[in-house]
Amino acid sequence: MNLTGAGKIALILLIAGALGAGYYFFGPDHEKGGTETTATSPNTEATTSESVASDDNTASSESSSSSSTAASDNTSFSYTAPEPVDGTLKGVVELGASGFNSFVVNVDKDKNWKLEKAEFGNSMVIENMASDYDIRVGLKKYISGMIDHGVSGKNIHFVVSSGALKADITQKIIRVLKDMGYMVNTVTPEQEGTLGLKAALPAKYYDSGFFTDIGSGNTKIAWTTAGGGVKSLEASGAKYYEKGTADDTVYEEVGAKAKQVPNSKRDICFIIGGVPYDLAKEIRNGKERYTVLKAPTAYKLDKAKAKAGGNIYKAIADATGCKTFVFDWDANFTIGFLLGLK
């Protein structure tokens, strides 16, 4: 092929261009070129990574917030109740309109105690008590179970809660027990708060904590005062909804009572009661005696009583600013009654 000078120059340029393109796509820097074409991929991954990290931080922040609001001392709270030394077994039975709660505890001279046995909501006893004779037979059988556990008959006591006094069956049981030679003790709501505090609030926390019992019929809030006394207040209980009372009304009422807790005693609250029991059950670790509750707003409550109890719990938390609520699995106001005996 005969080419003119200009043609030869054009051919040389065409070949040079083809060689350059080949070198670009297949030469030693090809991997670098590929990396550059995908340079947006690491940036996208970085953005995604930052987004995930942000989400994680948000979740962590929310978790941390929930943890600190609910139980900021959950990991640091550590308390072991002192064991009784050379103690005596004592039994106490709480009489209610729908059943008995009974407790056998080992108590020493310094009022250190340990729960040995507990029975809750024994409704069968009352359901079979139609006559005085049935009551007597049923009580003897019930009492013998405590004696079989090692409790002396003279160390078995009966306490009627303030909410059960008006029930007809309770009055019949009280009469029969007295005929059998047993002393039956009645308590007011304020006394229940005082006795509950004696059982649930360790002496170590007298100066920094208070006590709460959210019951169905009423709520008790108590704290220690100068000279070894106890101040106890009563508020609405978790079944207030049955009376048609509004949540806001109870929230304000309970909050007003809780605000009376001295500022110095709001660091920690030891709490008992039916609704707190259900809240603690969700997060209990094994058989631990003390469970730190989550924040009131951290629970998903759907049943009427649970919602009402949660409203009371929130009112107390908001009014006091307390962030550490410790549920005691063993304490009960009737045990506080035992501790008050000589």
Tell me: do 292 and 173 sit in the same domain.
no
CA angle 333, 339, 340 (to 5 degrees): 95
The sign of the CA dihedral 72, 74, 78, 82 is positive
Q: Among all chains, which residue has been given the structure tokens 């009572």?
A: 257
Tell me: do 169 and 292 sit in the same domain.
no
Query: Which is more confident, 242 or 101?
Result: 242
* 69, pLDDT greater than 80: no
Confidence of residue 17 (pLDDT cuts 50, 70, 90): low
Tell me: do 141 and 232 sit in the same domain.
no
* Cβ-count burial 309-322 (b if 16+ within 10 Å, e if not): bbbbbbbbbebbeb
Tokens of 326: 């410790």
Its domain, for residue 319, covers 188-336
Residues 112-170 have pLDDT tens digits of 999 999 987 666 556 666 788 888 887 888 788 899 999 999 999 999 888 777 777 78
Residue 97 per-residue DSSP state: S
State which of 186, 218, 234 marks the end of a domain: 186
Tell me: do 214 and 296 sit in the same domain.
yes
Cβ 155 vs Cβ 90: under 8 Å: yes
* CA distances for 10 relative to 2, 18, 19, angstroms: 13, 13, 14
The sign of the CA dihedral 230, 81, 199, 256 is positive
Q: Can you tell me the distance from the alpha carbon of 198 to that of 228, in angstroms, rounded to the nearest whole number?
A: 11
Tell me: do 117 and 99 sit in the same domain.
yes
Residues 203-237 have pLDDT tens digits of 999 999 999 999 988 999 999 999 889 999 999 99
* Residue 308, pLDDT score: 97
Q: Is 9 exposed, middle or buried (0-12, 13-18, 19+ CB in 10 A)?
A: exposed
* Residue 46, pLDDT score: 34
State which of 167, 186, 205 marks the end of a domain: 186
Helix (H) or strand (E) holding 179: helix 168-179
State which of 186, 215, 243 marks the end of a domain: 186
Return all residues near 111 (Cβ < 8 A) that are at least 6 apart.
339
Number of domains in the chain: 2
Instruction: Specify if 69 maps to a domain.
Output: no
